Amino acid sequence: MVDLIFSVSITSQRSPFSSYYCFIFIRLSGNLFTRKSLGVARQDFLKFINYEFRKYLPKIAQEQKEAIQDTVATCFDNYQRELVRRINNDIESRKTELHNLVTQQSNGTSDRQERITKLQQLDAKVLGAYQKIKSIINLKSS
């Protein structure tokens, strides 16, 4: 009743917007005085919002469907590119490491061959020196 009187007296003003906002303000302030009416107003507001969401969400979802799909596809494409880049970098580093190991092994093999050759030459020199010493000892003992 009080709300109706205030709304009628306010509507006689010049601006239709100000009367509308005053009516809403008085209506809301009247509801704020009692706890029960506040709960009812809250429930009514939630019902209204729920109804509006149910009404507009399918439309919004349909409008945003392509944008969301494009965004998700872009994210997965970026993830795939990053993953492929990391895998390729890992493969290249392992190839380099394997190449270095093969090079070290071949260098080690050639070093081994050089050592064997040097040892064989040293063995031949030692054998030659041994033969000379043996022949000298045989000459002295005869």
Q: What is the pLDDT of residues 41-61, one digit of tens each?
A: 788 888 888 888 888 888 888
Place of tokens 């795939």: 80
pLDDT over 50 (residue 1): no
| Helix count and strand count (H, E) for the chain | 3, 0
Q: Where do the domains of the chain lie?
A: 34-141
For the segment 116-138, the average pLDDT, to the nearest whole number, is: 90
Per-residue pLDDT reduced to its tens digit, 73-105: 999 999 999 999 999 999 999 999 999 988 888
pLDDT over 50 (residue 10): no
Report the predicted TM-score, pTM, of the whole model to 2 decimal places. Answer: 0.43
